[in-house]
Structure 1
Amino acid sequence: MTLSWAQIVRLGLVQMALGAVVVLTTSTLNRLMVVEFALPALLPGALVGLHYGIQLSRPRWGFTSDTGGNRTRWIIGGMVALALGGMGAALGVTLFSYSFSLALTLSILSYSLIGIGVGASGTSLLALLATATAPERRAAAATITWLMMIFGIAMTAGVAGQFLDPYSPQRLLAVVAVITVAAIILTVLAIGRIESRVTFTAEPDTTPFLEGLRDIWAEPKTRNFTLFVFLSMNAYFMQELILEPYAGLVFHFTPGQSTTLSGAQNGGVFLGMLTVGIAATGLKLGALRSWVIAGCLGSGAVLALLCATGVSQTPFNLTYLVVALGFFNGMFAVAAIGAMMAQASQGRGQREGTRMGLWGAAQAIAAGFGGLTGAVMVDAARAFMPNGPAFGAVFAFEAGLFLAAAVMAARVMETTRGRGPVSLVPGE
């Protein structure tokens, strides 16, 4: 028995809850540290990098799913850990004005908990989705669940932004508490009894973890796709920790306005993903490789315009540029996700969770490294130039990474239609 469309949508609700909690820690809280508390961008960059670094455990979580672990338990338990980490991170931010050491200690513990929660819940959820979805539904299932996650991120950022103004520590804690509790409740209701209704006919794989991971890495398609994920996600996440501070320092956005800006960006991501989902998967217009390349090139072009807004006066509206950036980000991301879901079941059988974990770990490393690199570059540039050009220089570098990702996609991804099999090495 495979997942029905209704069950796929329910799994998408869990993805939506994950995104709703994570967006607060990676956008709103880091903006408060940099702007309201005048801390160096390196600090939130290091904290977010910590939670991504802990997600190196994703292959292990995926392997646990492959070898017969109770996925529902890890999905719910991971969400609880994520929610507790998100609440602790918000509390840690409010303590920076009282005790730096106490606030930093709590923040480190909280972001570590966030990494554990995302790794356990997110990887187990993707393993369930990849294993229990019928092959002909995998690309569409990936699109549905990621659209729901982006919708949750955009909706949370937009709604939270409205309630955060005028900013106060009490208001921040109240908003985060509501969101984290709602995420746990939604997860429990959405995931309930889905796994028990899906019958797996294959015996669990008992290969030792390291041996299984080596087998997966030896597959050319898996290895090449992993390298592409790492490069493209470095470009994707480099602006994550600096966009809201950019809006605050250069355009004088309030905390609520900059949080709403983050919601607008993710709204653009949603539209980009929806466009590719309808065009490539539904109407079968264009190959996945073409959508990936177009998304990377478009993202690079918008980042060049963002660079121009930081260097000099331009007629470009910041919000519109951010929405456009999100749109092109969504285009390349959902096409890559479609390839990922299709490839997860290729190669040696019963390794869907391990492959998803490997790609999740590559994304986590890239996200942490990219976000931290962007923050460090901004801090370094601000030491000898005004805020606008300093941020603009980082946006220009990120545009170059997207160009490199487009070139790599053209080299390693074969022309493949939306629902067909995916090959990542020409000729294979």
Structure 2
Amino acid sequence: MGLLRFAVKTFRLSLMRVGAGWMFALLTFNFNRVTIADLGAMAVIVTTLIGLHHFISFFQVYWGRFTDRYPIFGLRRTPYVILSNIGAALIFMALPSIAVGLGERSLVATLEAFGLIFLFGVLMALNGSSSNALIAEVTTPKERGAVVAFIWATVIISGIVSAGVSRVIMPQYSPETMQYLYNLTPIIVTVTVLLGVLGLEKPITPEEHRRLLLAAPEKGEAGPLETWRVATSLMGRNPQVRGFFLFVLLAIMGIFLQDAILEPFGAEVFGLQQKDTAAFQQAWGAGALLGMLVIGILSSIFPISKKTIATVGGLGVASGLAMLSIAALTHQQGVIMPALMIMGLGIGLFDVGALAMMMEMTIEGQTGLYMGLWGMAQGLGNGFANVISGLGHTVMIESGIASPAFGYGLVFGIEALLMVIAIGILRGISVQEFKGLTRQDLTTALAMDTAS
């Protein structure tokens, strides 16, 4: 009976994340490909757009603290997860027409795009902090590795499914088929989040809420600027917080510099069609699923630390990216799929190890604050990755300074180096030392915030 309850809980937590997987996949394998390669938009504008919502990730710290402090009907996570998912999904219905405007280099369309993606970023910051906090609060440390593996497998599967649906509905770009594809988003997101999250969280009483917030200041509102001061104070005082933040930032950059330009790479270097480049998402997604399956089996047999899992995964990602760099520089199309599979295997291992560590790097009563802090590092890493990759494309390739093969090869090589550096930082992180230092640091930071 206990095993059945665990399975149902894990499945429902996974359903909660299906919508996010679908939305992010559409942005990073379809919207980027269509606007850059098919419609001729400036790459730096498109990738900055895709990365914009990540730069708003400081809202994750605010939303995390906000949901800690302000339950709705005794629920600190569920209402925020539902509202943020549905709100973000509705934005996708406007993106196909925005893509056409970007291709025409329209200033109005560009401003509209930045406004919509900014709103998307605020909503997804709320979604990320509240859903991660919910996962951390309804699972035990013993359960967490398996739960995280299953959730991320589901997210990746949703991305693979969206790529498959895209290949069927839109093998080649047309405005009508793109609009139909994107109109599916609110339906898919709403159904999956409601099935996943309703009834999962146990309401807390006002007394329980006060006990959880015993270290939190009661004076004033915890606005974004106040929350940001708390976060920066924690990073300044605690080397473990600072080191883990930097690790997450660099590792995410190391994974996602390729994300917004991978499909244009296939189009510009090898002349592949949309249905062919959509298969890239399926290739690395399959590798990630295999990596999660393998580590799930091994973890059930051997006591493998989360740090070791993240380390091996990060080195696998670096190896796959190095192979992609070689494929670009030598124009060897046959290397792409093996490289993506190896990169995917590494991503699968890394996601399980790193996210489980993120959930361990929290303290009771302030889970939302710390998950928001780590989410902010993820968001900034993604944002910088998108802007840098698009800027590199525009400066090197669109300007004619470098060939597409050389430009893409350089970006993939830089990614591999960033991941290696991140893994070096990870080796100095200790969850036990973090737990010992952070309670006093948090009390001091919150006290300073109240005094100001």
Using the size of structure 2 for normalisation, the TM-score is: 0.85
Shift of 1:216: 4.4
**Does structure 1 residue 241 correspond to structure 2 residue 243?**
no
Question: For the residues of structure 2 that align with 1:74 and 1:202, how far apart are their CA atoms?
Answer: 17
Given that 1:89 and 1:111 are in contact with CA atoms closer than 8 Å, whether structure 2 keeps it comes out as: no
Q: Which residue of 1 aligns with 2:443?
A: none
Q: Which residue of 2 aligns with 1:46?
A: 48
Question: For the residues of structure 2 that align with 1:82 and 1:426, how far apart are their CA atoms?
Answer: 35
Q: Which residue of 1 aligns with 2:424?
A: 407
Q: Aligned with 1:95: secondary structure?
A: helix
Letter matched to residue 260 of structure 1:
A
Q: Deviations along 1:292-341, whole A, 9 cap, x unmatched? A: 22222222222222111111243733223212211112212221111112
Equivalent residues, number: 415
Which of 176, 181, 191 lines up with 2:187 in the alignment? 181
Question: For the residues of structure 1 that align with 2:324 and 2:424, how far apart are their CA atoms?
Answer: 22
Letter matched to residue 278 of structure 2:
T
Q: Which residue of 2 aligns with 1:309?
A: 327
**Distance of aligned partners of 1:387 and 1:359 in 2 relative to their CA distance in 1, 3 Å threshold:** same
Q: Which residue of 2 aligns with 1:192?
A: 198
**Distance of aligned partners of 1:115 and 1:311 in 2 relative to their CA distance in 1, 3 Å threshold:** same
Q: Which residue of 1 aligns with 2:441?
A: none
Shift of 1:97: 5.0
Given that 2:240 and 2:429 are in contact with CA atoms closer than 8 Å, whether structure 1 keeps it comes out as: no
**Does structure 1 residue 325 correspond to structure 2 residue 337?**
no
**Does structure 1 residue 354 correspond to structure 2 residue 369?**
yes
**Distance of aligned partners of 1:99 and 1:198 in 2 relative to their CA distance in 1, 3 Å threshold:** same
**Distance of aligned partners of 1:166 and 1:286 in 2 relative to their CA distance in 1, 3 Å threshold:** same
Given that 2:257 and 2:385 are in contact with CA atoms closer than 8 Å, whether structure 1 keeps it comes out as: yes
**Distance of aligned partners of 1:424 and 1:283 in 2 relative to their CA distance in 1, 3 Å threshold:** farther
Shift of 1:27: 2.3
Which of 163, 166, 175 lines up with 2:172 in the alignment? 166
Query: Which deviates further from its counterpart, 39-48 or 210-219?
Result: 210-219
Given that 2:243 and 2:425 are in contact with CA atoms closer than 8 Å, whether structure 1 keeps it comes out as: no
Q: Aligned with 1:385: secondary structure?
A: coil
**Distance of aligned partners of 1:424 and 1:26 in 2 relative to their CA distance in 1, 3 Å threshold:** farther
Which of 248, 266, 279 lines up with 2:285 in the alignment? 266
Question: For the residues of structure 2 that align with 1:408 and 1:188, how far apart are their CA atoms?
Answer: 39
Percent of aligned pairs with the same amino acid: 24
Q: Aligned with 2:17: secondary structure?
A: helix
Question: For the residues of structure 1 that align with 2:341 and 2:271, how far apart are their CA atoms?
Answer: 18
Q: Which residue of 2 aligns with 1:381?
A: 396
Q: Aligned with 2:56: secondary structure?
A: helix
- RMSD of aligned residue pairs (Cα, Å): 2.5
Structure-to-structure mapping, 1:70-109, within 5 angstroms: 70=72, 71-97=77-103, 100-109=106-115
Shift of 1:178: 1.2
Shift of 1:98: 5.6
Shift of 1:197: 5.8
Which of 301, 304, 308 lines up with 1:290 in the alignment? 308
Residue segments in structure 2 that go unaligned for 5+ positions in a row: 438-452
**Distance of aligned partners of 1:191 and 1:185 in 2 relative to their CA distance in 1, 3 Å threshold:** same
**Does structure 1 residue 65 correspond to structure 2 residue 76?**
no
Q: Deviations along 1:364-392, whole A, 9 cap, x unmatched? A: 01110012112212222223121111110
Q: Deviations along 1:39-71, whole A, 9 cap, x unmatched? A: 221011110221111222001111122114232
Shift of 1:22: 1.5
Query: Which deviates further from its counterpart, 242-251 or 119-128?
Result: 119-128
Query: Which deviates further from its counterpart, 169-178 or 305-314?
Result: 305-314
Which of 8, 22, 25 lines up with 2:24 in the alignment? 22
Q: Aligned with 1:170: secondary structure?
A: helix
Q: Aligned with 2:307: secondary structure?
A: helix
Shift of 1:198: 7.1
Shift of 1:284: 2.7
Letter matched to residue 104 of structure 1:
T
Letter matched to residue 118 of structure 1:
M
Q: Which residue of 2 aligns with 1:140?
A: 146
Given that 2:323 and 2:335 are in contact with CA atoms closer than 8 Å, whether structure 1 keeps it comes out as: no
Using the size of structure 1 for normalisation, the TM-score is: 0.89
Residue segments in structure 1 that go unaligned for 5+ positions in a row: 415-421
Given that 2:307 and 2:357 are in contact with CA atoms closer than 8 Å, whether structure 1 keeps it comes out as: no
Query: Which deviates further from its counterpart, 85-94 or 367-376?
Result: 85-94
